[in-house]
Chains A and B, each alone.
Chain A
């Protein structure tokens, strides 16, 4: 089954404790992206990657890091989480050969709480 898998689904942590949210896709997609979803703000892009070793900032990159060492994986790293990073996070992927014929496939989300 074609899917984007995020782990963990729920995470509660404390301020300053480094964490990683993993994302893996099995569709051989070149493009991967991280979004955060907050009430009243919709989905805002954090970082994206066009292919292995190619990453770029989205609209709200502060406080986050990503890496793309393999095509299928795109982890999101919070080096020193703060309470304002409490949010619902989504990883997404798509093929880029035909961008307008290739929808974004989303994972089921990671609910992060930073106390």
Chain B
């Protein structure tokens, strides 16, 4: 089955700096890659996603890139703010799995003022 690895497990950044989280996946048939943000005491919430027919997607300060050949995708957060502090999960799924998501282990991001 699909295996998703996520790095780093923790990431500390100064406010205003950029943060990058990287994920690799094993199943070349995976074609949908969402990112979820989990704030303290809450459930994960989708923040951005990318499909295999595009290489990059941006939404204000966050962007996701996908390299299908290397089977890895990354989340980029620019101009980090304290409210970006959270746990971030990457995930992967494919068409014939009814959208079942395989999650990475998560990255704890701490933005220090």
The residues of A with any CB-CB pair to B shorter than 8 Å are: 4, 31, 35, 40-45, 48, 50, 58-59, 90, 92, 94, 96, 99-100, 102-104, 106-109
Contact = CB atoms under 8 A, between A and B. Distances in A.
B66 to A, nearest CB: 14
Interface stretch (B56-64, B77-85, B100-108): B100-108
Contacts of A109: 41-43
A41 B42 CA distance: 18
Given A41-B105, A43-B89, A90-B44, A99 B9 contact: no
Interface of B: 1, 4, 6, 9, 32, 34, 36, 41-46, 49, 51, 89, 98-101, 103-106
B98 A43 contact: no
B43 A107 contact: yes
A99 B43 CA distance: 20
6 A-B pairs with least C-beta separation: A106-B43, A99-B99, A103-B46, A43-B103, A42-B105, A42-B103
